[in-house]
Homo-oligomer: A and B are copies of this chain.
Amino acid sequence: MKCKSYYHFFEVIANKTRFKIIESLMCGPLNVGQICLATKEEQSKISHNLKVLSGCNVVDVKKDGKLRIYSLNKETVEPMLRLVEKHVQTYCEGNCGLK
């Protein structure tokens, strides 16, 4: 397994705002304005962070007029969250030292 720079992938997910974006996209694609509403975050903040997420294909964009619709790459993200959930359940009663 070659993984010399895989930690960069985790950096992308390891952020509160980006994680909220991911959660908001769990139920289906949304445009930027809708993501702002769902996350209660500012537009430019969301845009900056969407760029990071799409930069490594954690989310996908497509244009629709003046809207940009973002969708989650569930194939990678969902199993990854399932692994974390299992880890927390198995190894950490309560909060695992996680803040």
Contacts and interface: CB of A to CB of B under 8 A. Distances in A.
B9 A16 contact: no
A7 B14 contact: yes
Give how many copies assemble into the complex. Answer: 2
A54 to B, nearest CB: 8
Contacts of A97: 55-57
Nearest to A85: B1
Chain A binding site: helix, strand, loop or mixed by DSSP? helix
A81 to B, nearest CB: 5
A2 interface: yes
A41 interface: no
A99 to B, nearest CB: 5
B23 A88 contact: no
A47 interface: no
Interface stretch (A32-40, A61-69, A72-80): A72-80
